[in-house]
Amino acid sequence: MGNILVKEKQIVVPGEILAKGMDYLPGIGTYREGENIHAARVGLTYIDGRALKLIPLAGKYQPKKGDTIIAKVKDIMFSGWSCTTNSAYQAMMNVKDATSEFIPRGADLSQIYQIGDYVVGKIVTVTSQKLIDLSMKGPGLRRLHGGRIVYVTPSKVPRIIGKKGSMVSMIKQATGCKIIVGQNGMIWLSGEEPKNVLLAVKTIEMIESKAHISGLTDIIKQWLEKETGQKIIPKGDENGL
């Protein structure tokens, strides 16, 4: 016997009872206490078969292997560079992972990446103590020049990228900006016209604040068409790079 007390895509708060009885399983973001399944955070409900899960609406970035992130070089050491990642943890980029080119022993590392540089990198490892290894070897991974960085809640990144990159490619189309979205909630934008960059930033802020609403792609499409006066043709784009 069981009783589910919430609908799909409902906002719930810590402690709130989501279901009674043993029919349902406590999925990610929830926990079972006796007969009840409770929410373990502020989140959006997601019913996956018999599992009740919560999609987080806030929270700092938790580094994961395989994530493509934007990092900022903080320090140069003998063996590489240490970078901040918009999380509680720093990432280490070793000389051997820094570029596809060969770096001779004893080379001046600041010639490759300087303190203050922003880079797009891929997380290779995360240990249990959250030591992170970052690599710059791979397609699209590089140092960023010019442009500006905006910060969003990491859990909203999938919405900003969209299915197969459809959301971010709409913004690129409408504003003519280059946009790189890091899984860690850092987004790099670059464009010739400041007012187009500003439009891209405002659009990203709008997606962030409305991430829990369905039909968002249409809302954003209409907003962009209204602001630019052009027709937007949504299309897919591999991984928003």
Partner 1 sequence: MGYDKRLDGRKFDETRPIEAKVGVIKNADGSGWFRIGKSTAYAAVYGPKNLYPKFLANPKRGVLRCHYNMMPFSGMGNRVRPGTNRRAKEISMVTANALLPILDLSDFPNSVVDVYIELPETDAGSRCAGICAASLALADAGFLMKDLACSVAVGKVDDKVVVDLDYAEEAYECDAGVADIPLCIFPQSKKISLLQMDGILSPESLKEAMEAGMIAAEKIYDIQKAALKAKYEGD
Partner 2 sequence: MNKDYVHKLAEKDTRIDGRKFDEYRQPISIETDVSSTADGSALVTIGDTQVMAGVKMELGTPYSDAPDQGTLMINVELLPLSHPRFDPGPPSIQAIELARVIDRGIRESHSIDTHKLCVTPGEKVWTVIVDICPINDAGNLFDAGALAAIAAIKNTKLPAIKDGIIDYKNKTDEGLPLAHTPLSCTVLKIGNKLVVDPLSEEEESYESRLTVATTEKDELCALQKGGEEPLTIDEVDTMVKLAIAKTKELRKFL
What does the binding site for partner 1 look like in residue numbers (CB under 8 A)? 11, 13-17, 29, 31, 33, 38, 40-42, 56-60, 62, 87-90, 128-130, 153, 155, 210, 212-213
CB of 146 to partner 2, least distance (A): 7
When asked if residue 17 is in the footprint of partner 2 (CB under 8 A), the reply is no
Pairing of strands 118-126, 178-181: unpaired
- DSSP label at residue 228: H
CA distance 233 to 204: 18
Q: Which is nearer to partner 2, 39 or 189 (CB)?
A: 189
Q: Where are the beta strands (DSSP E) in the chain?
A: 2-4, 11-12, 17-21, 25-26, 30-33, 36-39, 43-48, 51-56, 68-76, 80-84, 90-94, 118-126, 132-135, 143-144, 148-151, 178-181, 186-190
Q: Which stretch binds partner 2 (CB under 8 A): 23-31, 36-44, 46-54, 143-151?
A: 143-151
CA distance 72 to 75: 9
H helices then E strands: how many in the chain?
5, 17
Query: 148 contacts which partner out of partner 1, partner 2, none, CB within 5 to 8 A by kind?
Result: partner 2
Query: 216 contacts which partner out of partner 1, partner 2, none, CB within 5 to 8 A by kind?
Result: none
- Kindly identify the residues of this chain, within the stretch 163-182, that bind partner 2 according to CB under 8 A: none
Tokens describing residue 218 = 């249409």
- Kindly identify the residues of this chain, within the stretch 88-127, that bind partner 2 according to CB under 8 A: 116, 118
When asked if residue 226 is in the footprint of partner 2 (CB under 8 A), the reply is no
CB of 169 to partner 1, least distance (A): 24
CB of 85 to partner 1, least distance (A): 11
Q: Which is nearer to partner 2, 147 or 176 (CB)?
A: 147
When asked if residue 148 is in the footprint of partner 2 (CB under 8 A), the reply is yes
CA distance 165 to 170: 9
Buried-exposed string 223-237: b where 16+ CB fall within 10 A, e elsewhere: bbeeeeeeebebeeb
When asked if residue 206 is in the footprint of partner 2 (CB under 8 A), the reply is no
Query: 183 contacts which partner out of partner 2, partner 1, none, CB within 5 to 8 A by kind?
Result: none
CA distance 161 to 177: 14
Binding site for partner 2 (CB under 8 A): 116, 118, 144, 146-149, 194-195, 198
